[in-house]
Structure 1
Amino acid sequence: MGTSAHTVKAFDQDLDQLRASIAQMGGLAEAAIADSMRALMQRDIETANRVIADDRKIDALEAEVERNAVQLIALRAPMADDLREVVAALKIAGVVERIGDYAKNIAKRVHLIEHSRDLGPMALLPEMARIVGEMVHNVLDAFAARDFAKAEAVCERDQAVDNFYNSIFRTLLTFMMENSQNITAATHLLFVAKNLERMGDHATNVAEMVYFAATGQHMAERTKGGDMASDQADG
């Protein structure tokens, strides 16, 4: 009995460490989203460079989560609910790492638009980024709390992100057609908007993993908002 209790306690401690590492990854990813957007809006090269450099911290944490999750499965042989949570942690770490990559991609655009004039649609980007940042924060809170209802609420916000993207896409196309001198800067902003839209998609993917880990059921199929030129601006 004592050995069994010790094993359960050790497993819980290992799982808590996984959750803590993912929470740390999430905090870094949230900061990267906010900082990359501030760098973009203010043409702040120093902040952009820091976002790009700090992405390595997220990558290192993902590798740590992967090692620990594999070790946990091998040593503890978790069953059912526990196994679902470990596998979810493993997958979520990969998704959060990808969100960090998208923030890094935005930061890389700062160098390219440093001397461009402001375009109207640029004003929509900070609010879009704010919603995405909240989705990332809330979905990782849902994972930590095994709160499937909160995970569902994250999915519901994805439509607002899609609406922002479609609005920005249409407006940027208009700017490009009105003045060919706008094409370069507008294209870079389109990449930024697309990266934000992709982050929202990834947050909903995490929400679906959290829902499954908590309930053992797959979330009901969602109707995805119309995504104009879905892969044209991915990068």
Structure 2
Amino acid sequence: MQDTSHIASAFDRDLHSIQALIMKMGGLVETAISDASKALDMRDTELAEIVRKNDKLIDELEEQVSAEVARVIAMRAPTAGDLRTVLSVMKISANLERVGDYAKNLAKRTSVLSEMPVVAGSGGSIRRMSSSVSVMLKDALDAYIQRDAVLAEDVRQRDAEVDQMYNALFREFLTHMMEDPRNITACMHLHFIAKNIERMGDHVTSIAEQVIYLVTGEFPDEDREKQDKTPYSMAPNED
């Protein structure tokens, strides 16, 4: 007969190890968001290149989390509640990887925009928006570690503020383009960047929803209304 206390103890150790990987991954993603927006604002192509290179570390951690999750499921045969925890971790890690990809996309645009005239006020607006997403991410990860569904729901609701910031930037860029056609190319790049940050917020919201599911066993009942009313077609995805 198997020693269930030993199995439980081994599962707890495995879970702690996986959670450590998640927090390391989260820290790298937070840094990527901060550095990418700073590089854009300061037109620092060297910092942008660091962000691009470090995205590989985030990808490697996601692969490591997936491998650890598969091992735990195979070896520990977790119960329903424990399986929910393990699968939530894998989904959180996938969302973190996507946020890292979007930060890399911001960095890719830095070298292009550094050769163009500055669009007044855009750098500060982009940094404020990315800072909001970064704080949301920190709180979502704190909610995960603390198993705090209330904090996770607060993060979920805050995504509406990011959507509103994106909408305001979209209108601002349209104004710049109409006032001076020479701004069109730069504003299109900036719109792409703002859209990527808005999508970061969506993935952070997904992390918060996973935390709520992990704690309560249910996903949030009410669909959160998206505040982004602008055309998606103007900002295609980039990997």
Q: TM-score of the superposition, structure 2-length normalised?
A: 0.95
The farther-off stretch of 220-229 and 110-119 is: 220-229
Q: In 2, distance between residues paired with 1:53 and 1:205?
A: 25
Contact persistence 1:37–1:129 (CA under 8 A): yes
The farther-off stretch of 223-232 and 143-152 is: 223-232
Q: Which residue of 1 aligns with 2:56?
A: 56
Q: Which residue of 1 aligns with 2:174?
A: 173
The alpha carbon displacement at 1:231 in A equals: 4.3
Q: Which residue of 2 aligns with 1:228?
A: 230
**CA offsets, 1:107-149, max 9 Å, x none?**
0000101122221341311111110001111111111121111
The alpha carbon displacement at 1:2 in A equals: 8.6
Where does 1:68-87 land on structure 2 (aligned, <5 Å)?
A: 68-87=68-87
1:215 and 2:216 aligned: yes
Where does 1:20-169 land on structure 2 (aligned, <5 Å)?
A: 20-122=20-122, 123-169=124-170
Q: In 2, distance between residues paired with 1:80 and 1:219?
A: 20
**CA offsets, 1:192-217, max 9 Å, x none?**
10010000011111111110111101
Q: TM-score of the superposition, structure 1-length normalised?
A: 0.96
Contact persistence 1:125–1:193 (CA under 8 A): yes
Moved beyond 3 Å, runs of 4+: none
Q: In 1, distance between residues paired with 2:94 and 2:131?
A: 22
Contact persistence 2:166–2:228 (CA under 8 A): no
1:14 and 2:14 aligned: yes
2:11 aligns to what SS in structure 1? helix
1:196 and 2:197 aligned: yes
Matched letter for residue 131 of structure 1: S
Matched letter for residue 157 of structure 1: R
Q: In 2, distance between residues paired with 1:52 and 1:117?
A: 23
**CA offsets, 1:3-26, max 9 Å, x none?**
221111110010011111011110
Residues 200 and 216 of structure 1: CA distance in aligned 2, closer, same or farther (over 3 Å): same
The farther-off stretch of 26-35 and 114-123 is: 114-123
Contact persistence 2:36–2:51 (CA under 8 A): yes
Aligned length: 235
User: Where does the alignment leave 5 or more consecutive residues of structure 1 unmatched?
Assistant: none
Q: CA RMSD in A?
A: 1.3
Q: Which residue of 1 aligns with 2:188?
A: 187
Matched letter for residue 226 of structure 2: K
Q: In 2, distance between residues paired with 1:225 and 1:40?
A: 25
The alpha carbon displacement at 1:224 in A equals: 1.8
User: Where does the alignment leave 5 or more consecutive residues of structure 2 unmatched?
Assistant: none
